[in-house]
Amino acid sequence: MARIIAGVGSSHVPAIGAAIDNGRTEEPYWKRVFSGFEHSKEWMEKTKPDVAIVVYNDHASAFSVDIIPTFALGCAAEFPPADEGWGPRPVPVVKGHPALASHIAQSVILDEFDITVVNKMEVDHGLTVPLNLLFGSPKEWPCPVIPLAVNVVMYPPPTGHRCFMLGRAIRKALASYPEDLRVVIFGTGGMSHQISGPRAGLINSKFDKAFLDNLTKSPKKVMSIPHIEYMREAGAEGIEMVMWLIMRGALDDDIEEVYRFYTVPASNTAVGHIILENKRRAAKAAKKGKRPAVGKKPGAGKHKRAAARANHRNVRRGK
Amino acid sequence: MARTNPTAGVEHDYDDIPGTFVFDAEKSRQGYHLNMFCMSLMKDENRKAFKADEAAYLQKFPMTREQREAILKRHWNRMLELGGNIYFTAKLGATDGLSFQQVAAIMTGSTQQDYAEMMLKGGRSVEGNRSKSKNEKPGKKPVNKQSKKSSKKRG
């Protein structure tokens, strides 16, 4: 079975992508932002997931106002970077995982999440900036990526509760996938910011910090934040933080916050970042080294037992 | 267009947020052509055609007179009011060589420098910016609670 081992929350500010693409990461303004992700890149390097699911929103790149899907799952084999008006970002083409993605789509639809299946899609900074922040700038992304685009551009986006429950449904879908895969799920966007209208520039660090605290310890509190509160407290565009709840919903109840970073600003936005590990994995990591090296894969015992049962049956039948 | 719109004038809780145009399903309908015009600017040849003769280029999109005027005069807030969405109008900004932050600065009525400085100092405070009604009761309560909690946890 495939399973979620950890969740990553991260802002996806376009100016962060521009700073990477234009070689400005060493400037003091940007260094302050990028230094917060150094540890995360090391963590990702060690974690080596088999697949990443990235929950993000499209910013009028793949979807215009012609079609506005609430949840759209990328099932294609690859997703080229979109031209957002300055030419496509110079980042690798994102390779998908069509088999797992379509398995998830089928499973969550039967679980009553009527998501849109997307077999052709370009991806914008909403997806590629968090990949850069966690994987750096490699020639190829180190693992397949399944994009899950959420509408947060047109009001109303899905509720926080709905997002959380979709995360739960994704977790369930992974459990019935035949191959053993270790999956990291990203929730991206935010944190507090408003980029439109005379109130642009709004930042609410208190709101953001409470959001991060509760995301780990009391997700129910975060789930029940109404849209009006996001918009009033965290800015009109701050509402995109609902996407983090898909990530949280896909994790176990019992999780460990292994890293957090927060800084203001990157352009117009408060940058927030968190890494949450399922306790099962955290416990395993802690035990690592103490455990004697056995050349046994998890689940090998199960197969052995099954083989023994079959053998026993055969013996009884006189084969 | 001649038909009256039964949802026009319906009040929403978010109408009370100051300095904010919420892009909802109604605005999405109203601003469809304006936003599709902005979308067309993702292609270089369209950007060139627009720059060569803005008014003529806009004729390709069946917008209202007000919408066309707002675009030609670069009235960024007015575009949002008339159904534009910031992620789309930002493409017009990009065509003009403006970054998201520069467009944001114009919408707030401040200079780019003042705006950037405000952001470096932690951004626009939510205090006094939650509600159009003066007493600000709707937003203040939850945040006071949250701030107490987070300071406890941090302490």
3-state helix, strand, coil in chain A (%, to 5): 40, 20, 35
A185-228 pLDDT, tens digit per residue, is: 999 999 999 999 999 999 999 999 999 999 999 999 999 999 99
Length of chain B: 155
3-state helix, strand, coil in chain B (%, to 5): 60, 0, 40
Evaluate whether A135 touches A142 at the Cβ level (below 8 Å): yes
Residue in B with minimal Cα distance to A13 = B100
Q: What pLDDT sits at residue B154?
A: 36
Is A125 a known active-site residue? yes
Q: How far apart are CA B100 and CA B76, in angstroms?
A: 12
- pTM: predicted TM-score of the whole model, two decimal places: 0.88
Predicted ipTM?
A: 0.86
Q: How far apart are CA A212 and CA A12, in angstroms?
A: 16
Q: Which two tokens stand for residue A69?
A: 């899907």
Residue in A with minimal Cα distance to B109 = A198
Q: How far apart are CA A256 and CA A308, in angstroms?
A: 38
A277-286 pLDDT, tens digit per residue, is: 998 766 666 6
B74-90 pLDDT, tens digit per residue, is: 999 999 999 999 999 99
The H or E element spanning position B79 is helix B76-81
A84 touches chain B (CB under 8 A): yes
A52 closest CA partner among A89, A5, A99? A5
CB contact under 8 A, B122 and A14: no
Nearest CB neighbour to B25, from listed A154, A192, A210? A154
Nearest-CA distance from A297 to chain B in Å? 41
Write down the architecture of domain B15-97 according to CATH. Answer: Orthogonal Bundle (1.10)
Residuewise pLDDT in 10s, chain B (155 residues): 445 677 777 889 999 999 999 999 999 999 999 999 999 999 989 999 999 999 999 999 999 999 999 999 999 999 999 999 999 999 999 999 998 899 999 999 999 999 999 999 999 999 999 999 865 554 444 444 444 334 333 32
Evaluate whether A16 touches A189 at the Cβ level (below 8 Å): no
Mutation for testing the B interface, residue in A11, A29, A154, A204 having most B CBs under 10 Å: A204
User: Which CA distances in Å does A255 have to A7, A216, B11?
Assistant: 10, 7, 41
User: How many Cβ atoms are within 10 Å of B36's Cβ, its own excluded?
Assistant: 17
Is A273 a known active-site residue? no
Question: For chain B, which residues make up each domain, given as ranges?
Answer: 15-97
Task: Give the amino acid at A101.
Answer: A
Nearest CB neighbour to A201, from listed B38, B108, B130? B108
Alpha helices in chain A (DSSP H): 14-21, 28-34, 38-47, 98-110, 125-135, 160-175, 205-217, 219-223, 227-234, 244-250, 279-287, 300-316
CB contact under 8 A, A65 and B41: no
Evaluate whether A295 touches A37 at the Cβ level (below 8 Å): no
Confidence of residue A87 (pLDDT cuts 50, 70, 90): confident
Give contacts of A 93-152 with B, CB under 8 A.
none
